[in-house]
């Protein structure tokens, strides 16, 4: 009796992977799942196992060998810069390393070529890092800030952008989880000749982010949220043709083009975004961030995004059915992200948060809301368990 070998073939490994839920493929990278249902990536994400190992190995190297392998450390920093550039479709020369998002925003805000009377467009619901600095510029530089709501229609944003020098908005709002239409806003800025700056921390690593397609001239993001990296190591992007116009506000030995020549006194800045790095790099943090960025690239943001959005939808819909209010104007496929903030009209948010914490769910109290933020390795069952823990009236 003959057989059709095509029908008897086992599935290829890639076919098995592609039909397996993302969380099952990568759950083992996150030992935190053995103790917690971790829904707090909008605050500080747990390190993947491979990232923790990379940091440990670097620490052991520095302990045993001192700086004998320093050139290898620098190669790792270069690899981190290249991985970041791939993630956002930039060139490596447009990426600078920073301590945190606030430092990156301030670098652009203070180095920008302002003239008294210039207009900035900013948004009222922003995290303080993308709010305070624009308020201070009104005092320091004599500029004017027009404040909008991040929920305003594009037509209103377009009207405000006319005559503005810079528009600054978050990719994803820290409380409501509202994801801005960066491509549409970037097109408005392109037409109006406005510098488009994005606080990317709450979306970068979870949703597609393309500086070319979105016409973004600058962004900042720390690595410890959706990029799954260590705290204190972030990214600043400044488009190449803006680097000679945005002055470094911290001027150190590595700001200059000839920084390897300690006897030189030539203060010509570097010809790339490295001009915004004023001294020794955080080699420990960059060993971790490099590994996390390469992990995100391996998984693929195009696969991560629908998984994160689906988990957020599950949370929002489930909480609403239990009588909880969901922060924001309502999730859609284009505006929903990984952040869902909830509250109940008859319960203290702190009590709700405590109930979740006691049940092993890591979340965050924010104002009078409980903020939940799952990443791609969280399972739908984790969300169901979280919803089952929510107090009912």
For CA atoms 22, 25, 31, 36, the dihedral sign is positive
Judgement on whether residues 230 and 322 belong to the same structural domain of the protein = no
Confidence of residue 5 (pLDDT cuts 50, 70, 90): very low
**Which segments of the chain does DSSP mark as H helices, in order?**
5-8, 13-19, 22-26, 49-65, 70-88, 101-111, 132-140, 154-161, 182-192, 283-299, 301-321, 349-358, 380-389
Confidence of residue 17 (pLDDT cuts 50, 70, 90): low
Judgement on whether residues 205 and 341 belong to the same structural domain of the protein = no
> What is the domain extent for residue 212?
54-298
The CA distance from 385 to 383, in Å, is: 5
The CA distance from 364 to 342, in Å, is: 11
Judgement on whether residues 275 and 376 belong to the same structural domain of the protein = no
Confidence of residue 19 (pLDDT cuts 50, 70, 90): confident
* Whole-number pLDDT of residue 23: 97
Judgement on whether residues 265 and 317 belong to the same structural domain of the protein = no
Confidence of residue 1 (pLDDT cuts 50, 70, 90): very low
Q: What is 139-207 written as a DSSP string?
A: HHT--EEEEE-TTS-HHHHHHHHTT-SEEEEESB-TTT-PBP-HHHHHHHHHHHT-EEEEE-TTTBTTB
Residue 343: which CATH number?
Answer: 3.90.1150.10
Report how far Cα 373 is from the mean position of its chain's Cα atoms: 13
* Whole-number pLDDT of residue 6: 34
pTM recorded for the entire structure: 0.94
Q: Final residue of a domain: which of 298, 314, 345?
A: 298
Residue 204 near residue 88, CB atoms below 8 Å: yes
**pLDDT tens per residue across span 217-242:** 999 999 999 999 999 999 999 999 99
256 class by beta-carbon count within 10 Å (0-12 exposed, 13-18 middle, 19+ buried): buried
For CA atoms 329, 334, 335, 341, the dihedral sign is positive
40: helix, strand or coil = strand
Judgement on whether residues 233 and 359 belong to the same structural domain of the protein = no
With CA atoms as reference, report the closest residue to 122 among 183, 184, 180. 180
């Amino acid at each position: 009796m003959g057989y059709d070998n095509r029908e008897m073939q086992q599935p290829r490994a890639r076919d098995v992977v592609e039909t397996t839920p993302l969380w099952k493929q990568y759950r083992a990278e996150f030992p935190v799942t053995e103790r917690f249902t971790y829904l707090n990536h909008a605050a500080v994400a747990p390190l993947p196992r491979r990232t923790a190992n990379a940091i440990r190995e670097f620490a052991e190297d520095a302990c045993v060998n001192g700086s004998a392998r320093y050139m290898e450390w620098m190669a790792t920093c270069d690899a981190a810069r290249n991985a970041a550039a791939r993630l956002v479709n930039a060139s490596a020369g447009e990426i600078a390393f920073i301590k945190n998002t606030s430092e990156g925003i301030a670098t652009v805000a203070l180095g920008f070529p302002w003239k008294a009377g210039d207009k900035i467009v900013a948004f009222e619901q922003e995290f303080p890092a993308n709010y305070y600095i624009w308020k201070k510029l009104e005092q320091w530089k004599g500029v004017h800030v027009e404040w909008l709501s991040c929920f305003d229609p594009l037509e209103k944003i377009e009207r405000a952008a006319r005559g503005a020098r810079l528009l600054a908005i978050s990719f994803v709002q820290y409380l409501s989880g509202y994801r801005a239409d960066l491509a549409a806003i970037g097109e408005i800025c392109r037409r109006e000749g406005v510098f488009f700056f994005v606080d990317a921390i709450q979306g970068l690593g979870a949703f597609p982010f393309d500086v070319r397609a979105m016409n973004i001239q600058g962004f900042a993001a720390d690595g410890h949220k959706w990029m799954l990296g260590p705290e204190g190591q972030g990214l600043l992007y400044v488009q190449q043709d803006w680097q000679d116009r945005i002055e470094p506000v911290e001027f150190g030995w590595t700001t200059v083009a000839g920084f390897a020549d300690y006897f030189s006194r030539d203060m010509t800045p570097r010809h790339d975004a490295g001009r915004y790095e004023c001294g020794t790099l955080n080699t420990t943090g960059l060993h971790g961030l490099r590994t996390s960025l390469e992990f995100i690239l391996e998984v693929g943001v195009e696969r991560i995004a629908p998984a994160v959005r689906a988990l957020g939808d599950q949370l929002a819909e489930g909480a609403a059915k239990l009588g909880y209010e969901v922060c924001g104007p309502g999730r859609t496929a284009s505006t929903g992200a990984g952040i869902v903030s909830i509250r109940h009209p008859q319960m203290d948010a702190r009590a709700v948060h405590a109930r979740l914490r006691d049940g092993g769910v890591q979340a965050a109290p924010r104002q009078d809301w409980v903020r939940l933020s799952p990443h791609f390795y969280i399972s739908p069952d984790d969300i169901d368990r979280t919803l089952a823990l929510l107090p009912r009236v």
